[in-house]
Amino acid sequence: MKHLYSLVFLLFALTCSCLSTAQNILPNVSYTNDTLFNCSGTASAAPTGGAGSYSYMWSTGETTSSISNLCAGSYFVVIQDANQDTASFSFSITNPCSNITLSASATNCTPGNCDGTIQLTVTGGSGPYSFSISGGPQTGQPLFSGLCPGTYTVTVTDQNGCMTALIVVVTGNPLSINLETTGDLTGNCVGNAHVTATGGLGPYTYLWSTGETTPVINNLCIGNYSVTVWGANGMDSASASFNITNPCLGFSGYFTSTNASAPGVCDGSTTFTPFGGTPPYYCHWNNGISGAFIYDLCPGNYPLMCEDSNGCMIFQSVTITDSTITISNLSANISAVDDLANNCSGYVSVSPAGGIAPYSYLWSTGLSSTGMGALCAGIYSVTVWDSGSDSTTIDFIIADSSTIYGNNPYPNGPVNDTLYTDLVTNCIIDYSVIDSAALYQAVYDSISQNLYVTWAVYSPTDTVYISDTLGLTGLAPGYYGLTISVYCPNKSGNDFFKIETVIYFDGTAVYFSTLGVDKHALENITIYPNPFTHSVSFDNKNGIIQSVKLVDLNGRVLSEMNPVNSGLVEMKQLESISSGTYLLILSGESSSKTYKVIK
C-alpha cells in the first residue's frame, strides 16, 4: 500500500497545477555529482516555509529527505507540507569524468629482449595526471619502458580522481618449437623426443603429456604424445603433437634363388629383396660378401643380416639345394581361440608346412614368434617365410561374443556394437543380393532387467548372413539409436558393413519398426538411369516410399531424402560422388528394399 500511495501521490503531483513551487515552501535541494562512473551521486532536500511536516517523493521512488547512489541523469523531487501544498525541484547529476580519454602506442620487443615501451596520451579531465601500469617497472610517467612481451593494463587518474584504463599488448619474436623424435626401434619403449624452443622470452618451461618437464624425454613406448612450451612471461606458448612408432615393424624381405644345377656344382645364386623398412638397405652375408645378391653358391645354408637407414635389423637365411631335390610348396595353418569373454583372451598359433625349414614369422602386431596371446577381438594376419624364396600370408579373425552395455546414464542416446565375425567365409558378402539389414528381435527380461537385441543381415531367400545379440543393462525409458559395425577378415580396417535402427523402451517393453523382408511392398520400383551421372529417379506413385538413402559399400550415407513426395521422385546433386558401386535403400512403413546402382 505504501508503494501504491507513493505512485498515486507522484502522478497527482505531476499532473495537477500545484506542481509549481508554492510561495510559502522552498525546496532547498542540494546534490553532488557522480565522479567515478560508479553511481556515487547524492541529493538532499531541506525545505522551509509552508506548514511543516514535509513528505517527499523522488523520481527514483524513494520517500526520504535524502537519496544516494545516483548515476548520471535527470531527477526531480516533489515536497508536500501538512496542508498538502506542494513544491517541486528538478536537477541533473553529471559525471565530470566523462570527457577523460586515454590512448596508447606500443613499441614491441626485439627478439629475446625486454625492451618494449608504451607511450600514453590523455585528453580531457583535469591535470596534473598520474599514470600506472600492471606488472610494469614504473609508475607516474606517461612513458613506460623496459617491458617484456606481455599484456598490460595502463591507468590514468586526474586531480579529481577521474580515471580510465586501457589494455595494451607488447609482443616480441613469436615463440616457436622444433621437435625431433626417434621411434621405438625395438618395441621395448626406447623412443625419445627432443623439443627446441626459439623466440619468445627465455628461460622456457616444458610440459609433456607424460608429465615430464625437461626438454628431452626418453623411454617412450609406441603411442601418441604432445608437448607444450611456455616463455618466461607465461604468456607465449607453443604446442605440438607427435607419434612414436616402431619403424622396424613390417621390415622384412624375401629371397629369389636359383639352386645348384647338380650335386657338387657351385653355380647357385640368390637375391634378397628387402621391403617395409626405410631405404637404403645394407645387407651382409656370413661369408663376408656385402650386397643383396650372391652367386657361385654350393648347396648349403647362407645366413644374412640386413639393416635399413633407421638402424632396424633383420636376420634371414636361405638354403641352396641342387636340382635333384624336390621341395614342396610352403603352406601354413592357423589355430585360433576367440575372445568370447571380451577380455582380450584370444590366442593364435601358426603351423607351417612344406618349403625349406627353418621358418620365420611376422604377425600384424609386430611379433615374430610362432604364436601370440592376449588378443582382443579383431582382424589379424601373419606372414611366414621359409629359408628359400617362398612365403605365405594368412588373414584371420579373433571373434567376440555379444557385448553387454551397463549403467547407461540417460535415455535418447546411442548404443554401438562392434562385431568381429567369421560366420561368413572370408566375409565375402554379395551386396547385390542383400535384401535387408535390420534388427529382427528385441526382448526385455524383467528378471535380469536386461534388454536383448538381435541383429541380422538377410539375403532374398531369408538366409541370415550375419547375426549378433546385444545385452543392454540399466536402460532408462526412452529412444535409443542402435548401430552395429560388422568387421570381417580379409578386409581393411575401414571396410565394414553398417546396420542402424531405433528402438523405444518404455520400462517394461520394447518397440521398434522392423525393416525386414517383405516380398511385395517395394519390388516393382523402377530405378533409372543406372548407371547414373547427376541424379537417380524412381517411381513413388503409390506413396509407399517414405525415405531414401544412397550409401556406399561401407555404410556411409552420401545422400538422403526424408520424407519422400508421391509421384516421380528424383535424387539430385550427385555430381561429386566418385565412380563406383552404391546401394539405394528405399524404406516404407514396415519394409525396406536395397537396390545396387552404379556411377
pLDDT in tens, 362-419: 888 888 888 888 888 777 788 888 877 688 888 776 766 544 444 343 455 556 555 5
Give the mean model confidence (pLDDT) for residues 310-317: 85
Report how far residue 392's alpha carbon sits from residue 360's, in angstroms, rounded to the nearest whole number. Answer: 11
Arithmetic mean of pLDDT, 158-162: 80
pLDDT over 90 at 90, yes or no: yes
Please state whether 546 falls in left (phi above 0), alpha (psi between -120 and 50) or beta.
alpha
pLDDT above 70 covers what percent of the chain? 73
Spatial contact of 438 and 499, defined as CB atoms under 8 Å apart = yes
Reported as a pLDDT band with limits 50, 70 and 90, residue 107 is: confident
| Averaged pLDDT for residues 281-285 | 92
The confidence score (pLDDT) of residue 1 equals 38
Range name among 10-24, 141-155, 199-213, 271-285 with the lowest pLDDT average: 10-24
Residue for cell digits 606488472? 135
Domains and CATH numbers, the chain: 2-93 (2.60.40), 101-170 (2.60.40.1080), 176-244 (2.60.40.10), 252-320 (2.60.40), 331-398 (2.60.40), 404-512 (no CATH), 527-598 (2.60.40.1930)
Banded model confidence at residue 439, pLDDT cuts 50, 70, 90 = low
Can you tell me the mean pLDDT for 573-588? 82
In which band, very low, low, confident or very high, does the pLDDT at 293 lie, cut at 50, 70 and 90?
very high
| Cell numbers representing residue 301 in the block | 645354408
Peptide bond into 203 cis (omega under 30): yes
Write out pLDDT tens, residues 227-249. 999 887 666 788 999 988 887 87
Report the pLDDT averaged over residues 289-318.
88
CB 420 within 8 A of CB 397: yes
For residue 195, the model assigns a pLDDT of: 94
Confidence of residue 576 (pLDDT cuts 50, 70, 90): confident
Write the DSSP string, 240-267.
EEEEE--TTTT-EEEEEEE-BSSTT---
pLDDT recorded at residue 46: 92
Cell representation of residue 75? 531527477
CB 441 within 8 A of CB 422: no
User: What's the pLDDT score for residue 140?
Assistant: 64
pLDDT reported for residue 233: 67
Q: Measured between alpha carbons, how far is 456 from 516 in angstroms, rounded to an integer?
A: 9
More confidently predicted of 259 and 590: 259
Burial environment of residue 593 by CB neighbours within 10 A (0 to 12, 13 to 18, 19 or more): buried
Specify the pLDDT at position 2: 35
Provide the pLDDT for residue 12: 38
Place of cell 622470452: 201
Identity at 201, one-letter amino acid code:
L
User: What does the alpha-carbon distance between residue 146 and residue 141 come to, in Å, rounded to a whole number?
Assistant: 13
48 beta partners: 26
Confidence band, pLDDT 50/70/90 cuts, at residue 322: confident
pLDDT beyond 50 at 22 = no
Report which of residues 68 and 139 the model is more confident about.
68
